Amino acid sequence: MHAGLPCFFIRLTGCNLRCSYCDTTFAHEGGFRISVEELVCKWQDSKVSHVLITGGEPLLQTPVYELMELLLTKGARCLLETNGSISLSSVPKKVVKVVDWKTPGSGHSDSFLEENLRFIGANDEIKFVITSHADYIWSAEIVRSRALWLFTSVIFSPCYGLVKASRLAQWLLRDNLEVRLQIQLHKVIWGEKRGV
């Protein structure tokens, strides 16, 4: 829901999942060390109000909680992208959580931690990456059976290169599903260039 706004990206290394469609395999390992304070200074120098912490899976690194708290203290609009398999209980309430609910097409449809529904609110998002019509049907059933739209924003995103946004839009309109269609805007603008 924040797509299109200027955003300072912090990409942390390491992930506990290996999704079939992962476009950031370079974040599985490697990277470099930097202190929480240095990261916050780099963000402040950028003069951008929104900060997105992503990965890999950022919640695997315990200093991320200190980072989120410090960013909030300094006035950042802090967003967290997480794969939904790790508890959100320690994530500060003011952080906007974008939580993936992995579909069968990802290879990890059993990874979502159901207790996380307790920590997701109206300002947060649950995102389903749709790789096929079967993924769409599976995801629609989860959305309906749990009435997710009543307490949070629900996003369906077509998997780049596998499902056309126009096709997903047709399914959503046909079924009148209470979700938002989201595309990977950076890929529309820059293609698959890394580091743009």
Residues 178/154, Cβ–Cβ less than 8 Å? yes
**Greatest extent of the chain over all pairs of C-alpha atoms, in Å:** 49
pLDDT of residue 164: 94
- Quick one: pLDDT band at residue 71, thresholds 50, 70, 90? very high
Within 8 A by CB and 6+ apart from 59, the residues are: 80, 82, 86, 87, 88, 91
Residue 2 in this model has a pLDDT that exceeds 60:
yes
* Nearest of 156, 159, 80, 157 to residue 124 by alpha carbon: 80
pLDDT of residue 183: 83
Residue 160 in this model has a pLDDT that exceeds 60:
yes
Task: List, for residues 5-16, the tens digit of each pLDDT value.
Answer: 889 989 998 887
pLDDT of residue 20: 79
| Residue ranges covered by each domain of the chain | 7-190
Q: How far apart are CA 100 and CA 127, in angstroms?
A: 5
Architecture of 7-190 per CATH? Answer: Alpha-Beta Barrel (3.20)
pLDDT of residue 16: 74
Report the b/e string of 18-39 with b at 16+ CB within 10 A. ebeeeeeeebbeeeeeeebeeb
Q: What is the mean pLDDT of residues 118-144?
A: 97
Tokens at 85, concatenated = 């398999």
Residue 196 in this model has a pLDDT that exceeds 90:
no
Is the pTM value of this prediction over 0.75?
yes
Mean pLDDT of the residues in the chain:
90
